[in-house]
Amino acid sequence: MCGLLGLSTVLNIVIPISGSAIVTPLLALLTDPHRAIGIASFFFFLSALARIFFFRENIRWYEIKVLLIPSVIAAFLGALALVAIPAHWLLIIVLLFSVYFLLKKLHIVPDRKGPNKLLDHIIGLISGFLQGTGLAGSDLRNQYLYARNLNLAEVHGTSSLIGGSNFLVATLVRLYTGQLTFTDVTPLFYLLPIIVIATWLGKKVLFKLPKKTSDLIVLSIMFIVVFSLAYEIFLK
């Protein structure tokens, strides 16, 4: 299990995919699904700490300024109200935004002149709420950042700072409300060296990628997210 979590960390640096699609199912093999979501949140928090350190020079602080506060507030509410909104409707919202960001990345939808703070805050709120509930909020936030022409390293640094804050808040809420216990999360501290080494290896691989390859990966990820969400909503 430790090896699989470490491998997923390396792969997630080079080819960013939703951690909830890999880590949470792995943890669900060891405990009940609800507790697995809580433990996964703390694992993602530890992973974010490593990414913040290794990608600290790539953080885009403007995005942090507009996304962080609404995202953390929404993560707090999401952790409290785990089933307040049906997951199916949340997925539809994420799909609509993901299609919009993909079209922007392909320059089919023209860029607005200047920042759109309303959209910034909406993305922060929705992605934070999703992460608070244990769903894949990073997908939405990353799609948004890709559409703003951040490269993979910038997305890792920026999104990790926001996501790590969300996961910390969600974990504290779950500990306070009894959804988790300290006994549940303590073993994850032993994984921290593996997380750090895996993140370092992933960064080494990422920075050796040519820009064209990196851009192709970004577009491929955006297409995969859109089609995966559509399949989850309409066909599964």
Q: What is the pLDDT of residues 191-221, one digit of tens each?
A: 888 888 888 888 888 778 787 776 777 677 6
Is the confidence at residue 7, as pLDDT, over 70? no
pLDDT higher for 86 or 106? Answer: 106
- Give the separation between CA 13 and CA 57, rounded to whole angstroms: 16
Residue with tokens 């699609």: 21
Helices 211-230 + 87-105 axis angle, to 10: 150
Give the Å distances, CA to CA, from 199 to 14, 53, 161. Answer: 10, 10, 15
Q: Among 26-40, 115-129, 159-173, 180-194, whose mean pLDDT is lowest? A: 26-40
Is the confidence at residue 114, as pLDDT, over 60? no
Is the confidence at residue 223, as pLDDT, over 90? no
- Residue 52 belongs to domain spanning: 2-235
Q: What is the pLDDT of residues 37-87, one digit of tens each?
A: 788 888 889 989 999 999 999 999 999 999 999 999 999 988 887 655 566
The reported pLDDT for the residue numbered 117 is 73
Q: What is the pLDDT of residues 133-146, one digit of tens each?
A: 877 678 788 888 88
Is the confidence at residue 113, as pLDDT, over 60? no
Q: What is the pLDDT of residues 168-195, one digit of tens each?
A: 999 999 898 887 888 888 888 888 888 8
The reported pLDDT for the residue numbered 86 is 62
Share of the chain above pLDDT 90, in %: 20
For 8-38, b/e burial (b = at least 16 CB within 10 A) is bbbebbbebbbbbebbbeebbeeeeeebbbb
Number of domains in the chain: 1
